[in-house]
Amino acid sequence: MLKRTKRRYLALDVDSAETFEPKEFADGIWSAVTRLYGEHGASQTGLVMIHCDMERKFALIRVTNAASDMVRAALATITKIGDKPASIHVIAVSGTIKALQKRVKQR
Amino acid sequence: MKRLYSDLHLRPNMKDPKQTVNMVNKAAKLGYRLLGLTFPLNCGEQEHQQMKEKCIEAGVDFASRVDLRPNTPNELIRDLRRLRRKFEIICVACQSKNVSRQAARDRRVDLLSFPSFDFRRRFFDRAEAELASNSLASLEVDMEPLLTLEGAARVRLLSNLRKEASIASGFDVPIVVSSGASNESLMRKPMELAIMASLFDLEKHSALDAVSKNPAAIVKRNREKLSSRFVAPGIRVARRGKDC
């Protein structure tokens, strides 16, 4: 029987004076993951952008549980998105969006 | 028990007080409770005091640090004699094999650091680790080069770090993971530094110790030694006066 893939939702804080288009932001994350782990590694992360609010400098992504540390390491290596300086900090990690939103509100 | 996170290597430009304050405030916001700030060799007690006040305002503990770059073992010994009682953390940036061996065996050295960009000068091998394990020196890994390097250079650095981390674990040499950040944008949360340490195969528990327990132990040990009550390891002045 096919085993269900466990997922993790990550709330991200974008630390930058610049603003980004959601596509540009997603490309920045993908490019960091690909640079660090290659295309094969990136394919295992199951990375999906769920929500991106660049006015609040906040984003929500989904990854597979097995690859969540890989994605977190790749996010930490980001120093630029496009040509604009930026860094990304993980605010909270959770197994459901509902629990994640609760945690983010608590902070 | 909740971990108290430390970053022993912040490198703000000390001539720019605004940047220094911003970095200290950001470190506090990111969750650090102990900061080591690198001072130039010739700085005075007044500068330490000013920085300490800024850190206390931000709600973090402060440890003064100096990075020595001696060219010969004798120069290292001379610097240690001159500076050991002035700074809470002494790091030796090893430029040659002789210096790195002397630094590893000297009990006054807290941290051993190796150039990130020059791979031939990374002298942390089994002999170095054995010397370090008999003294008090820890291996420091700065994360800034992992953020700034790309491509083949980063691959080589990761490969070297993996080898060194494995040797250090084998000889029980503590590893200290620091940001090495020279500006705010290169500062990361302690958990992010620990996760980045997994890139060179440091286990999660060891990586968390490398940003919390190991640096805190160095500062605690040195504060005890630098206190006026310290006589020798295990011996301290309990009371002074005529009635003793």
Average pLDDT over residues A79-86: 91
- By Cβ distance, the residue of A36, A72, A85 closest to B192 is A72
Is 90 exceeded by the pLDDT of residue B120? Answer: no
Q: What does R_g of chain B's alpha carbons equal in angstroms?
A: 18
User: Which residues of B fall within a CB distance of 8 Å from A36?
Assistant: 199
User: Which residues of B fall within a CB distance of 8 Å from A15?
Assistant: 185
**Inter-chain residue contact A76 with B30, CB threshold 8 Å:** no
Beta bridge partners of A80: A85
- pLDDT-derived band of residue B229, with 50, 70 and 90 as boundaries? confident
Domain harbouring A14, CATH code? 3.30.70.3250
Q: What CATH number labels B5-226?
A: 3.20.20.140
- This prediction has a pTM of 0.90
pLDDT in tens, B70-80: 999 999 999 99
pLDDT in tens, A21-70: 999 999 999 999 999 999 999 999 999 999 998 888 999 999 999 999 99
CA atoms of A38 and A16, how far apart (whole Å) = 26
Give the nearest chain A residue to B26 (CA atoms).
Answer: A15
What domain count does chain A have? 1
Domain boundaries, position A74: 7-106
User: Which residues of B fall within a CB distance of 8 Å from A69?
Assistant: 195, 198
pLDDT in tens, B10-67: 999 888 889 999 999 999 999 999 999 998 888 778 888 888 898 999 999 999 999 9
The three-class DSSP label of residue B43 is coil
Which residues 81-140 of B have a C-beta within 8 angstroms of A? none
Q: Can you give the pLDDT at residue B235?
A: 86
Task: Name the DSSP class of A105.
Answer: H
Q: Can you give the pLDDT at residue B106?
A: 94
Is 80 exceeded by the pLDDT of residue B172? Answer: yes
ipTM above 0.85, yes or no: yes
- By Cβ distance, the residue of A15, A77, A90 closest to B147 is A77
A2, part of any domain = no
In the block, tokens 């001539």 appear at B15
Classify the C-alpha dihedral A97-A101-A102-A104 as positive or negative: positive
- Quote the crossing angle between the two packed helices B45-58 and B17-30, to the nearest 10°: 40
- For the record, the structure tokens of B146 come out as 């992992």
Classify the C-alpha dihedral A15-A17-A21-A25 as positive or negative: negative
Average pLDDT over residues B176-191: 94
The shortest C-alpha distance from B132 to chain A (Å) reads: 29
Q: Can you give the pLDDT at residue B232?
A: 82
Residue spans of the domains in chain B: they are 5-226
Q: Can you give the pLDDT at residue B70?
A: 94
- pLDDT-derived band of residue B189, with 50, 70 and 90 as boundaries? very high
Is 80 exceeded by the pLDDT of residue B244? Answer: no
